[in-house]
Amino acid sequence: MAATNSTATSSKLTALTMAALALPGMVAKSHADSPPAMPQIDTNFSRYEESGNRMRIETYQAAASLAVGDNLGFRVNGVKDVVTGASPVTIGRPGPSCKGPSNGLLVQCMSGASIRDERDAVDIGANYYLKDVTLGVDVGRSSENDYTSDFFNVDTRWELNQKMTTLATGFGYASDSVWAIQHVNGQNVREPGVGGDKSTHQGLLGITQVLDKNSLIQANLTYANNAGFLADPYKWALVDNVYLRDSRPGSREQYGVLLRYVRNFEELNSAALHLDYRFYSDTWGVDSHTLEVSWFQPLAYGWQLRPRIRYYTQTSADFYQPIYQTARLDGNYSSDYRLAGFGAIAGGIQLNKEFFDRLRLAGGVDFYERQKGLGLSGGAGTKLDNFSYSMYSFSLNLKF
């Protein structure tokens, strides 16, 4: 069948379509509204590699879900990360105590390349499906040799207005402990007096509105409140020619807004455009903007291609400096590159194929380039922290 003229919209057809879609049962409930009918297994492997022989992370993830009756679904999820390589410790002056890339005046001091850390995380969740409401709860633990986190989340989704509108709420709590590990005589020893506990409360409020049969908009507001030890126990800052431990305020409030527009193009074999804009702001003075465009293109024989591109810009935290000439009254010092002002461009492509409606295989590659000069938001920072990474991922999803 030849495509109908896709650019022309018929007012008659629009009127009929709107009236038809307003009827109950004309639009399939999204898959989130009923438990997966069959047991399901998802596995994923990804390899993240930073430029300049820095950090490398291999992630193995597996999840299984199972429905019990028509209203209840359970899911268990496990993740293992293996981190190796060096990471930046601070920005310093050339000298024996600081080794790393230099511009003559400043040096990006790197940790030794012998870091190897493993993170294991497991969480279990349950969803309860009522007629228009889905209730979810999830609890889990994540542990490394220098970090533990216990967390739980509860969320609700409420569909109304004949499923044209979805309201979502979420609340989460995490209790974390962080410390530093030193290598002494070939042994891992906990460094005394470094680190601490932190707690995070977070909330989410979201609305998704179906605009017509081919488009929807979504807005999510998130808020998080962190309190406790929020610094990085491995990082340092050069303050008036003295290296001091990274130290940050004991609380941080984070605000986020996500605006998403999704449009399907039936005439292009049901391709879909996703436009995301995210704004983030916190009480440390970090503001960021993210713009992401992705395109889902179903091809013949169950193949699907998903290219995407993302731009990111952030301002630096109020107390961030690459190096400090003088001491600060509040005693907060961080030269952590993640708190600097910078910009980044990222892009990727994922290809997946479905076999017999049971098995889906996906492979993807992503590239990321962070540069001081790409930032539009201003703030302190240094080109020494420029880096790039690539990430390869492979996933398998099996329904029984």
Contacts with other proteins by CB under 8 A: the residue count is 36
For position 356 contacting other proteins by CB under 8 A, the verdict is: yes
Query: Contact region for other proteins (CB under 8 A) — 105-113, 168-176, 298-306, 360-368?
Result: 298-306
326 vs 356 by CB, closer to other proteins: 356
Q: Which is nearer to other proteins, 20 or 205 (CB)?
A: 20
User: Closest CB to other proteins among 31 and 325?
Assistant: 31
Q: Of 61-69, 253-261, 282-290, 296-304, which segment contacts other proteins by CB under 8 A?
A: 296-304
Site membership for other proteins, residue 359 (CB under 8 A): no
- One residue of 16, 68, 327, 359 binding other proteins per CB under 8 A: 16
Instruction: Scan residues 23-82 and list those touching other proteins (CB under 8 A).
Output: 23-29, 34, 37-38
Q: 2 or 329, CB closer to other proteins?
A: 2
CB of 3 to other proteins, least distance (A): 8
Q: Quick one: which segment of 142-150, 191-199, 233-241, 297-305 binds other proteins (CB under 8 A)?
A: 297-305
In this complex, which beta carbon is closest to other proteins, that of residue 162 or of residue 352? Answer: 162
- In 3D space, the residue among 87, 106, 373 whose CA is nearest the CA of residue 246 turns out to be 87
Q: Which is nearer to other proteins, 9 or 325 (CB)?
A: 9
Applying CB under 8 A, which residues contact other proteins? Answer: 1-2, 4-5, 8-10, 12-13, 15-29, 34, 37-38, 162, 213, 266, 270, 300-302, 356-357
